[in-house]
């Protein structure tokens, strides 16, 4: 599956807003940058590809960024990989 990683936050939101799907998720993880940062990953699932934005966000700006994503239809979630049996 392709994963299109958009570097610019505003451009990511522009593109995400054009995609009519309920599958818009944001996940927060521990950052490798330091204890004052959180890795934010926002993904739009488009069945055959993902549209992704990811950035290490300072903890003091995290709430603001998540609220912007929520206003654009994103839901906080934990994204997991599940085993897919191939027969």
Joined tokens for residue 44:
């739009």
Q: Which domains does the chain have, with CATH numbers?
A: 2-76 (3.30.720.90)
DSSP codes of every residue in 69-86: HHHTT-EE----------
Per 3-state DSSP, what percentage of the chain is helix, strand, and coil (rounded to 5)? 25, 35, 40
Q: Is the pLDDT of residue 10 over 80?
A: yes
What does the pLDDT look like over 19-73, one tens digit per residue?
999 999 999 999 999 899 999 999 999 989 999 999 999 999 999 999 999 999 9
Whole-prediction pTM: 0.85
Q: Is the pLDDT of residue 80 over 90?
A: no
Q: Is the pLDDT of residue 18 over 90?
A: yes
Strand 37-45 versus strand 24-30 pairing type: antiparallel
Q: In 19-71, which ranges are continuous DSSP H helix? A: 59-71
């Amino acid at each position: 599956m392709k994963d299109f990683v958009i570097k610019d936050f505003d451009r990511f939101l522009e593109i995400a807003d054009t995609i009519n799907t309920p599958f818009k998720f944001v996940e927060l993880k521990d950052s490798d940058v330091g204890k004052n940062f959180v890795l934010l990953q926002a993904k739009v699932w488009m069945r055959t590809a993902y549209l992704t934005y990811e950035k290490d966000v300072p903890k003091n700006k995290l709430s603001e960024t998540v609220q912007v994503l929520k206003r654009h239809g994103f839901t906080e979630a934990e994204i997991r990989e599940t085993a897919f049996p191939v027969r």
